[in-house]
Amino acid sequence: MADRTSRTRRLLPVTATAFAALAGAALAACGPTGTDAKAATHSPGPSAPATTPGADGGGDGSGVPQHPRTTAEGRTTPPPWAAPTDATARVRAAGLPMLGAEGQVMHIHTHLDVLADGKPVTVPAFIGIDEQEQRISPLHTHDTSGVIHIESPVKSTFTLGQFMTEWDVALSADHIGGLKAGGGKELRAYVNGKQVKGDPAAIVLNAHDEIALVYGPGGATMKVPNDYKWPAGL
């Protein structure tokens, strides 16, 4: 990981300042800018209207869609799920653009936990980052903390479906990847400790939300994360 992080630091030397936060050591640079974290509208749960991915293409020229996809497509295999080898293809599948540097107009963070039968599933680093092409999605991860970075050149709405599509992991109301509801198992979604019904892919990513996707025996008592200890600057 150290070698990969080092390579990431070298991406886009012309725009090194804007791109510095790609490296784990530079996460302090990811503090709120543009849209303040506390100023973001909080609307937990599936609230984004259903859309075709990338249908509007971003009318402002940014490539960021005005109406995000509210479904997720990807692998239907059991975990673990590594970061995709073709990040650009997955970002395009999510209907999002690849940028030359992180956007500065909207800058917020959401945290994602995935639990399968009581065990945490790692959210990989570098989702939405194409090191070879030196491009980055406005929706991405820098490390394995589960923190999702939304750094966009325009204000917009981003969803869990977009992120899961970038991750290349299928998600709907009854399955995540190859983990399917049935036979006594179920998939539940939570935002800040409160269960959300419907397709979790439609959950809107808001500033400092704690999203948990929990797969396991139905009716089982399980401790669900309801908050995340945010580092200074995030």
Parse the chain into domains and list their residue ranges: 62-234
Q: Please give the distance of CA 86 from its chain centroid, rounded to a whole number.
A: 16
Q: Confirm if 35 and 150 have CB atoms less than 8 A apart.
A: no
DSSP character string of 130-180: ETTTTEE-SEE-SSSS-EEEEEESS----BHHHHHHHHTB-EETTEETTEE
pLDDT at 48: 57
pLDDT in tens, the chain (234 residues): 444 443 343 344 334 334 434 444 334 445 543 343 333 334 444 445 554 444 455 557 799 999 999 999 999 999 999 999 999 999 999 999 999 999 999 999 999 999 999 999 999 999 999 999 999 999 999 999 999 999 999 999 999 999 999 999 999 999 999 999 999 999 999 999 999 999 999 999 999 999 999 999 998 888 999 999 999 989
pLDDT of residue 58: 58
The number of beta carbons lying within 10 Å of the beta carbon of residue 6 is 11
Cis status, amide bond into 80, omega within 30 of 0: yes
Identify the pLDDT of residue 44.
Answer: 46
Residue 3 tokens, joined: 């070698």
Rounded to the nearest 5°, which phi and psi values hold at 73? -125, 150
Residues linked to residue 147 through DSSP beta bridges, in sequence order? 111
Output the pLDDT for position 61.
79
Backbone angles phi, psi at 36, to 5 degrees: -65, 145
Amino acid found at 108: I
Nearest 5°: phi and psi at 4? Answer: -70, -40
Tens digit of each residue's pLDDT (9 = 90 or more) over 197-230: 999 999 999 999 999 999 999 988 889 999 999 9
Give the largest CA-CA distance in the chain. 54
**pTM value?**
0.80
Cβ atoms of residues 137 and 98 within 8 Å: yes
CB environment 156-187: b (16+ within 10 A), e (fewer) = bbbbbbbbbbbbbbbbbbebbbebebeeebbb
How is residue 209 written in tokens? Answer: 């939300």
